[in-house]
Amino acid sequence: MKAIRWAWVLLSVGSTLAMAEDDAGLDPTMIPSIIYSAGRSDTTRSGSGVGSGYFLDVNYARTFVNMGIDYKNFTQEHAANAYVGIGFANLLELQAGDGSRGPVQRLRHDFNLTQIYDFMTGNHRSPYSLTLDNRITFTFALERYSTHSELDNASIGFGLLY
């Protein structure tokens, strides 16, 4: 719960800093993204981990503010979490959360070639004009649980960008 409070403080400070000089708010040139993803999770603790499993995830990112929820099912254990965080769009996200297994921290990266190309070239396309092949996203995440270190994991998967 303490992690959620700190995340909200960071989110509040970040939102204040995101205000443009003309009070336009968050950078309107950054396309907000919602990513629905699924994939494989493997615990990072050798010998004391709970093994492999799968994850289902929904994540929202806008400029440098992000939030998400996920469900992980390992061989004999499961965890459901909610996160808030800061980062740079969905390229690098530092998130703190809380869930069924206590506080958790997550480092997440979503790799979408179309978004990276658009950012580098300054191209601004509507999120509604993306074709299916431009929506495919690869997700990488590392999680660390404060009270259940046997659930610490690395995840890799794919998803769709909306």
Structure tokens at 91: 């390229």
CATH number of 121's domain: 2.40.160
First-to-last alpha carbon distance for the chain, in angstroms, is: 30
| pLDDT (0 to 100) of residue 28 | 54
pTM score above 0.85: no
Nearest to 119 by CA among 90, 77, 93: 90
**Average of per-residue pLDDT across 9-18:** 48
Whole-angstrom Cα distance, residue 48 to residue 46?
6
Domain count, the chain: 1
Q: Where in the sequence is the domain holding 152, given as residue range(s)?
A: 2-161
| pLDDT (0 to 100) of residue 51 | 86
| pLDDT (0 to 100) of residue 152 | 93
13 has pLDDT over 80:
no
Count CB atoms within 10 A of the CB of residue 45: 12
Q: Which tens digits make up the pLDDT trace of 106-141?
A: 999 998 888 778 878 888 777 667 788 788 899 999
Q: Which amino acid is at 63?
A: T
| pLDDT (0 to 100) of residue 17 | 45
| pLDDT (0 to 100) of residue 12 | 53
